[in-house]
Chain A
Amino acid sequence: MSSEDPIESAFAGAVKGTIDWTFDTIKSFVIKLKDKKLAFIQDEETINLVKEQYHSGELSFYKEYVSDKEILFIVNMGLTLRKLHSKKDRRNNLRNKIFDKFEVNGVRVAQFVENGILNRYIGILIDNMSSIIDFKDKIIYVLKNINKHVLFVKKEDSERGVIQHVTSSVASNSPLIYIISGKSSAAEIVRKCEGRLVQLLPDCILEKISSNEMENLFFKRVIPKE
């Protein structure tokens, strides 16, 4: 390789096809790597997405109110999943990695964020906020006990099963807010359950976030006046 700048030559080689480096080129790369002047990556897209997410306004907001580092990281992964919504393979790959690292609860927290539920949940908490400490505690509590607060409906679920699960979970856990969330074909199942759930949860007020491909029902418990 004759160019004075081996990186410039390496990029030039990429146009032609497979690049071979000389021993001297490798030596010069290693010096740059050790001097923190060079990083070897696969694709710009992945790095740029991770960087963009790391500096995003939404994550900065959550950093203020989510003190648990592991949960905050999973929130970040949920935001990243949202960014990958049109890239099915990469989204599924990341989802699998989240499952490997944080198990099923981690996937659910990430999904909670990806579907925009955490946004709205926080909005509802703000409406009833008594103090910042209480607000922070409630966010952490819901994220650490995600199963008690949300049901992610799957396409193979039955309406009857969903209704039974929701009524049983609300009765045993008494959450302030309970959410039923469905995407794609599962969104239709959620819509079909709505009327019956309104009847079965008379102590709750329903708020919905709907779109063509998603249906989220928020059942907010009404605190009885003394």
Chain B
Amino acid sequence: MERLSLKEVSNNSKIGLLRELGYDSDGEFVLESGKKLLDRYLDIPIRLDNMVILPGSIIILDNNELSLSKYIEEFGDVF
């Protein structure tokens, strides 16, 4: 699987990507239906500058070792 870092990507492009996936952003957080989207494993809001977007019904997470380990546990090592 190819991995593309979002670190150098402009906010406009990241927001465009989110909108194409049915989400949005207020410039700081990822939004879903106008509300802050929560990391599914930690229940914390996901910052635009620290999000990862992973396959598996499109999973958006906070970039941290715990959430990513939980993701691998649930979906296997897809990377």
Contact = CB atoms under 8 A, between A and B. Distances in A.
A190 to B, nearest CB: 28
A47 B72 CA distance: 10
Interface in A78-96: 80, 84, 90, 93-94
A40 B65 contact: no
Nearest to B19: A26
A41 B66 contact: no
Interface stretch (A14-22, A123-131, A171-179, A194-202): A14-22
Contact of B69 (A35, A43, A76): A76
B17 A30 contact: yes
A10 B65 CA distance: 25
A39 interface: yes
B20 A40 contact: no
Contact of A32 (B2, B16, B41): B2
B4 A41 contact: yes
Interface string A3-27: 0000100110110011111010011
B10 A18 contact: yes
The bracket for how many chain B residues form the interface is: 35 or more
Given A39-B53, A39-B55, A23 B8 contact: no
Interface residues of A, number: 48
Contacts of B77: 51, 54-55
Contacts of A37: 1-2, 55
B71 to A, nearest CB: 8
B64 interface: yes
A33 B58 contact: yes
A14 B9 CA distance: 8
A222 interface: no
Nearest to A23: B16
A23 B2 CA distance: 20
Contacts of A23: 16
B47 to A, nearest CB: 10
B13 A21 contact: yes
Q: Report the 3 A-B pairs with minimum CB-CB distance, sorted nearest first.
A: A40-B53, A42-B63, A21-B13
Given A36-B1, A51-B77, 16 more contacts: A14-B7, A19-B8, A19-B9, A30-B21, A38-B1, A39-B2, A42-B51, A43-B63, A44-B3, A47-B3, A51-B79, A54-B69, A94-B66, A97-B64, A100-B42, A101-B41
